[in-house]
Amino acid sequence: MSTGDGMGLFLNILVDGAAYGMILFMIAVGLSVTMGLMRVVNLAHGGFALIGGTLAHWAGQDLGLAFPLALAVAMLGTLAIALPLERLVYRRIYGFGELQQVLATIGLTFLIIAAVNLWQGSALLPVPLPESFARPVDLGFRTLPLHRLVVIGSGLAVIAGLWLLLDRSRFGIRLRAAVDNRGTASALGIDTDRIYMVAFGLGALLAALGGILGAELLPIDAYYPLRYMVLFLIVVAVGGLGSIAGSFAAALGLGMIETAARYLAPDLATIAFFAIVILVLALRPQGLMGKVSA
Amino acid sequence: MTRISCAAIAAALTALCGQMAGADTIKVGVIAPFSGPFATYGTQYRNAIEVYVAQHGNKAGEHEIEFVYKDSGGPNPDQVRSIAQELLIRDRVDYLAGFTFTPNALAVAPLIDQSETPTVIFNAATSSINKESKFFLRTSYTMWQVSEPLAQWAFDQGIKTVATTVSDYGPGIDAETAFRAAFEERGGKVVDAIRMPLSTTDFTPFLQRVRDEKPDAVFTFLPGGPPTFTYTKTYNENGLAQEGIRFLGTAETEEVNLQGLGEAAVGLTTAYHYSGAHDSETNRAFTAKLAEMFPGAVANWSSVGAYDGVDLIYHMVETSGSDGPAAIEAALGREWESPRGPLKLDPETRTVAQNVYIREVERDPASGQLVNREKGVIANVGDLGWTR
Amino acid sequence: MKSWLTPFLVLALAGAAFLLFPYNLAFLTRILIMILLVLSLDLVLGFAGIATLGQAAMYGTGAYAAGLFAVHASGNPLAGLLVGAFAGAALALVSGLLLMRTRGLTLIMLTIAVASLCLEAANQLRGLTGGADGLRGIRMQPVLGLFPFDFAGQTGYWYALSVTVLVFAGLAVLTRSAFGLSLRGIHESPARMAAIGVSVYWRQVAAYTIGGGIAGIAGALAAQITQLVSLESYSFTISAEALIMLILGGAGRLYGAVIGTVIFMVVHHVAAANDPFNWLFVIGALVLFVVFLVPNGLVSLPLAVTRLWKGARHARA
């Protein structure tokens, strides 16, 4: 089927847009947890994705581990770095103003970049994926690499899991209580320090997972956190703070729009993308599904 | 400021410099990215320079040569101009070198014109830079120099239709224009010319569109690093190779990130002036020394850009010392053997005329590494973009 | 401290810098230009409380406007500055009408989006702007017809210093005026200011426009001194670094903008000269140091130290 005919073009945009949108969702969902739910302006989100990606590169390429094992090493390693950082840095800045949080997390990002740069250099750090991930899968009207289907599957699993965890479990209720009013939550016997630590660890884990699965499109290198910082922030802002579903909708929507622009008018794709971001945020300042708050 | 007073200052500085440093130390200021996402360039330059010095000693004729390295970060003309001023005034360098990005080179043009400082460009590939000052010399290449031979070769191979996909910025547009002009002059047809936004992370839409158009080949130009990685993966995963749509590129398979591209890179065809696997005595000596001094380092085009640039500077220093205009005279028309093959500094364009090789990525049976294997050569190509 | 003492000291330092670092004038000039940009951000963010990561939009627009003016109309530097200021202010006014309706993260993202749009527009209009190669052909006449730009950058330094001093003085007056006080009031409590009949929206638009004009002047100066404008003038890096410098120094105080910029740029210069590959370690550590130990910015450091010292003396007495 050719892009020349309308139906084929439409299907192409739909499929590629969904696949790209899912990758956007996977790389931004961790930020949606730390910044959206926990209300920390966490510019170091990309830093944790970078840690995950670098560890996966190291485990897969330098140690020669199989992908599932490398993935596990990378995620546990990221957690092992993120939790002490939560105690040392983040715990102190939860109560700070937004600008101080911006400064602190950007300082942390610089340190992470410098550390990865020192360890692995500034060239690309490819994450070895199973051979089968590159295999094209026949969708009937065209093919799609298996990798994209894996990402779509993971994205759906993550959003289902987060929904269960945050909307249907006691942890979710406690987290919301702790974020809304820390003092009261503590008085009610909720261990807010621990809740925050678990939530932050979850955000870091998701950042690492997103960094690794998204690395086919957003390859890992030392400057990853700065290169894609704006992209992560846009997904969360358009989706609306505090709403995982909003991030999901925003990622898919932005993915579709950008893909359509790339098919139809490549020259104008960047302008169209930012124009739409401006339009959405002008019309809905709280984002697509953000809670209205001061 | 008027030309006269500038020249006066420059002359005064040169005289002062001669008194202060003695006639036997000549300083070369190297401006390149040593920090940030492009730091690889700076590292490659520096390694190559140190290899050259290890091979040839630190004396050119009777003069000792000293290198002063300065960090430019990325494309940042404001910073580069102020660094160049500092190098010229405080460090009193007699030569400038480096320059990865076009705006950075352009920013020093008025300065080197005033101070009459020979400036050797190791990388920046826009033809027109050399028109801004007669003190610019270039040991890298220009976009036209490699894109046009590729188009001619492709046509001769029986490729009649091509879609071009280039990154939507200066160098990409240059590459598109050069390829298209040469390909259509021969009688080929460019069926689609796609300009991809620089911020593109997912190339599937462009490659899917190309796939549906079924041309004989797709010509591409991408900035190095992440975009090249993603593009080549997408090219393979969307089955363009299986459909028989050939990949034609230039710098995409450069050696530093080549191993990172993995199996997806095998079979990619590029036209370029240097392959790390070039089969010659000079290249083997260069790469062996590089590997010996810097374990894990690989030679790529920025390495030879710097290596040959330093060779040119040694030649200028030996013949002319710190006399800028005389050094330029001595450099023009010079012919020598480089790790990439024979070179001649073209007197008109002040860019090296060189062989352009048609290469294909293969896995080297001996080392197990991916290499750019030379399959053909278009000899002695000058800067074809100069008169365009 | 007497009110004339601090400005006198700062000016004396600027003069001393000229004498002490005659070979680094180009670098000192870059610091001055950056101080102008950070001052514009201080007005917008420090005083009016408008969170932005897109000040480069106005900086770049000022640079391109002044550059194009020099190439196509006149090489008069002061006229070029006015053109840059006007272009920056015009963009800030037009975009501000929309931006000032939003808050917080949304506002930050919108300012980033505006700067990104400008960057892409400049890239697409490469016939006019030179695209990624940069806008070339800028040749400047002598300042006031008397002082030609020289090789060592002496004229450039005094020119940039004069402009910075004038802008600083203007801002000092502005921030002490009724308008400036109302901005502070808005920053602290928009609701209260609205309640006493102040139009929060229009005051913020006005502050953003003035800030845009100053950022435009900074861009214009950069264009005139470098004689080249590149797409990087619109980059996110410039906006982000300006923000870091401001918070480092201390937002909401004009001297904070000056101190933060000087410290950041000098640390960068020294660290990058010694070990460019690892300089991010230094800047990252500096940033964290300030956040945790001097949360009000480095401008408050002397005060904090004085207090500590006085406290110690009192304790002993």
Kindly report, residue by residue over C123-147, the tens digit of the pLDDT.
999 999 998 899 999 999 999 988 9
- Can you tell me whether residue A5 is helix, strand or coil? coil
Q: Report strand pairing: B341-345 vs B335-338.
A: antiparallel
C124: enclosing H helix or E strand: helix C104-124
C44/A137 Cα distance (integer angstroms):
53
Of B205, B238, B262, the CB nearest to A263: B205
- Can you tell me whether residue C43 is helix, strand or coil? helix
Residue C105 in domain = yes
Q: Hey, is the C-beta of B16 within 8 angstroms of any chain C C-beta?
A: no
Tell me the shortest Cα–Cα distance from C168 to chain B, in angstroms: 23
In the predicted model, is pLDDT for residue C2 greater than 70?
no
- Can you tell me whether residue C25 is helix, strand or coil? helix
Residue C204 in domain = yes
Residue bearing tokens 């861009």? C219
Interface mutation target, options A92, A103, A227, A254, chain C, most CBs of C under 10 Å? A103
Residue A113 in domain = yes
In angstroms, what CA-CA distances link C184 with A245, B184, B357, C10, C249? Answer: 37, 64, 65, 25, 18
Residue bearing tokens 């003396």? C313
- Residue A24 in contact with residue A259, Cβ under 8 Å? no
C82-88 mean pLDDT: 97
B195: enclosing H helix or E strand: strand B189-196
Tell me the shortest Cα–Cα distance from A265 to chain C, in angstroms: 13
Number of domains in chain C: 1
Residue C214 in domain = yes
Q: Which residues of B touch C227 (CB under 8 A)?
A: 81, 107, 110
C-beta atoms of C248 and A111 within 8 A: no
Q: Which residues of C touch B103 (CB under 8 A)?
A: 132-134, 228, 230, 232
Report chain B's terminal Cα–Cα distance, integer Å: 32
B7/B113 Cα distance (integer angstroms):
9
Q: Hey, is the C-beta of A2 within 8 angstroms of any chain B C-beta?
A: yes
Residue A39 in domain = yes
DSSP string, B101-124: SHHHHHHHHHHHHHHT--EEESS-
A41-45 mean pLDDT: 91
pLDDT at A99: 82
Residue A45 in domain = yes
Which pLDDT band holds residue A114 (cuts at 50, 70, 90)? Answer: very high
| Bridge partner residues of B118 (DSSP) | none
Q: Report strand pairing: B341-345 vs B246-249.
A: unpaired
Neighbours of chain A (3+ CB pairs under 8 A): B, C
Closest by Cα among B90, B234, B79 to A147: B234
pLDDT at B10: 52
Residue A249 in domain = no
Neighbours of chain B (3+ CB pairs under 8 A): A, C
- Can you tell me whether residue B272 is helix, strand or coil? strand
In angstroms, what CA-CA distances link B40 with A30, A229, B35, B36, B102? Answer: 30, 22, 8, 9, 17
Interface mutation target, options B198, B212, B232, chain A, most CBs of A under 10 Å? B212
Report chain A's terminal Cα–Cα distance, integer Å: 51
Which pLDDT band holds residue C94 (cuts at 50, 70, 90)? Answer: very high
Phi/psi class of residue B225: alpha, beta or left (left: φ > 0; alpha: ψ in -120 to 50)? left
In the predicted model, is pLDDT for residue C298 greater than 60?
yes
Percentage helix, strand, coil for chain A under 3-state DSSP, each rounded to 5: 75, 0, 20
Q: Hey, is the C-beta of B168 within 8 angstroms of any chain C C-beta?
A: yes
In angstroms, what CA-CA distances link B95 with B28, B229, B322, C249? Answer: 5, 36, 8, 38
Interface mutation target, options A38, A113, A120, A281, chain C, most CBs of C under 10 Å? A281
Q: Which domain holds residue C138?
A: 24-235
Phi, psi of A175 (to 5 degrees): -60, -45
Q: Please give the structure tokens belonging to residue A196.
A: 């925050």
Residue bearing tokens 């950041």? C264
Q: Which residues of A touch C291 (CB under 8 A)?
A: 93, 96, 100, 103-104, 107
Q: Which residues of A touch C247 (CB under 8 A)?
A: 99-100, 102-103
pLDDT at B20: 46
B256/B262 Cα distance (integer angstroms):
12
Q: Report strand pairing: A143-145 vs A136-138.
A: antiparallel
ipTM: 0.89
Q: Which residues of B touch chain A, with CB atoms under 8 Å apart?
A: 36-37, 39-40, 168, 194-202, 204-206, 208-209, 212-213, 225-226, 229-230, 233, 236-239, 256-257, 260-262, 264
Which residues does chain B have with pLDDT short of 70? 1-23
Q: Report strand pairing: B95-98 vs B136-138.
A: unpaired
- Residue C188 in contact with residue C31, Cβ under 8 Å? no
Of C124, C232, C273, the CB nearest to B75: C232
C246/C35 Cα distance (integer angstroms):
9
Q: Which residues of C touch A113 (CB under 8 A)?
A: 280
DSSP 8-state secondary structure symbol assigned to residue B268: -
- Nearest chain C residue to B196 by CA distance is C124
Q: Which residues of A touch B199 (CB under 8 A)?
A: 270
Phi, psi of B188 (to 5 degrees): -75, 170
Most trustworthy range by pLDDT among A141-150, C188-197, C208-217: C208-217
Q: Please give the structure tokens belonging to residue C151.
A: 């090789």
Closest by Cα among A6, A7, A14 to A144: A14
Q: Please give the structure tokens belonging to residue C272.
A: 């990058």
C-beta atoms of B71 and C227 within 8 A: no
Amino acid at B281: E
Of B212, B233, B262, the CB nearest to A3: B212
Of B1, B43, B169, the CB nearest to C150: B1
How far from chain centre, in Å, is Cα B265? 21
- Nearest chain A residue to C287 by CA distance is A107
Q: Which residues of A touch C100 (CB under 8 A)?
A: none
C-beta atoms of C276 and B35 within 8 A: yes
pLDDT in tens, C197-254: 778 899 999 999 999 999 999 999 999 999 999 999 999 999 999 999 999 998 888 9
C-beta atoms of C23 and B90 within 8 A: yes
Residue C170 in domain = yes
C-beta atoms of C226 and B74 within 8 A: no
Closest by Cα among A49, A35, A52 to A101: A35
How far from chain centre, in Å, is Cα B207? 27
Residue A229 in domain = no
Residue bearing tokens 């050259």? B52
Residue A94 in domain = yes
Interface mutation target, options B82, B92, B99, B167, chain C, most CBs of C under 10 Å? B82
Percent residues over pLDDT 70 in chain A: 97
Closest by Cα among C274, C241, C298, C284 to C33: C241
Q: A97 CB contacts (<8 Å, ≥6 apart)?
A: none
C86: enclosing H helix or E strand: helix C77-99
Give just the sign of the alpha carbon dihedral A154, A157, A163, A168: negative
Residue C106 in domain = yes
Phi, psi of A96 (to 5 degrees): -75, 165
- Can you tell me whether residue B217 is helix, strand or coil? strand
Q: Please give the structure tokens belonging to residue A162.
A: 């987060």
C-beta atoms of C30 and B74 within 8 A: no
Look at C103 and A56; give whichever has higher pLDDT: A56
pTM, to two decimals: 0.91
A145: enclosing H helix or E strand: strand A143-145
Alpha helix positions (H), chain B? 3-21, 39-56, 77-89, 102-115, 143-156, 170-186, 204-213, 226-237, 255-261, 281-293, 301-320, 324-331
Q: Please give the structure tokens belonging to residue C227.
A: 């004689």
Closest by Cα among C179, C171, C183, C188 to C256: C171
A126/A102 Cα distance (integer angstroms):
29
C-beta atoms of A111 and C236 within 8 A: no
Number of domains in chain A: 1
pLDDT at B4: 44
Residue numbers of B between 39 and 98 with CB closer than 8 Å to C: 39, 42-43, 70-71, 73-79, 81-83, 85-86, 88-90
Residue C17 in domain = no
pLDDT in tens, A46-94: 999 999 999 999 999 899 999 999 999 999 999 999 999 999 999 988 8
Q: Which residues of C touch A98 (CB under 8 A)?
A: 51, 104
How far from chain centre, in Å, is Cα C195? 32
Residue bearing tokens 């940069």? C134
pLDDT at B17: 46
Q: Which residues of B touch C24 (CB under 8 A)?
A: 86, 90
- Residue B44 in contact with residue B302, Cβ under 8 Å? yes
Q: Please give the structure tokens belonging to residue A116.
A: 């990865």
Tell me the shortest Cα–Cα distance from B383 to chain A, in angstroms: 28
pLDDT in tens, A218-267: 999 999 999 899 899 999 999 988 888 999 999 999 999 999 999 998 88
Residue C2 in domain = no
- Residue B316 in contact with residue B118, Cβ under 8 Å? yes
- Residue C145 in contact with residue C90, Cβ under 8 Å? no
Q: Please give the structure tokens belonging to residue B100.
A: 């990865």
Q: At what angle do helices A192-213 and A170-180 cross, to 10 degrees?
A: 110
C278/C204 Cα distance (integer angstroms):
40
Q: B269 CB contacts (<8 Å, ≥6 apart)?
A: B246, B247, B248, B249, B358, B359, B360, B375
Instruction: List domains and CATH numbers for chain B.
Output: 3-141+279-350 (3.40.50.2300), 144-272+356-381 (3.40.50.2300)
Of B34, B81, B103, the CB nearest to C276: B34
Amino acid at A200: F
Residue bearing tokens 């994209």? A148
Residue C246 in domain = no
Q: Which residues of C touch A96 (CB under 8 A)?
A: 291, 295
In the predicted model, is pLDDT for residue C317 greater than 70?
no
* Letter string b/e over residues B246-258, b meaning 16 or more CB atoms within 10 A of that residue's CB: bbbbbbbbbbbbb
- Residue B215 in contact with residue B183, Cβ under 8 Å? no
pLDDT at B95: 97
Residue C193 neighbours by CB distance under 10 Å: 19
- Residue B69 in contact with residue B32, Cβ under 8 Å? yes
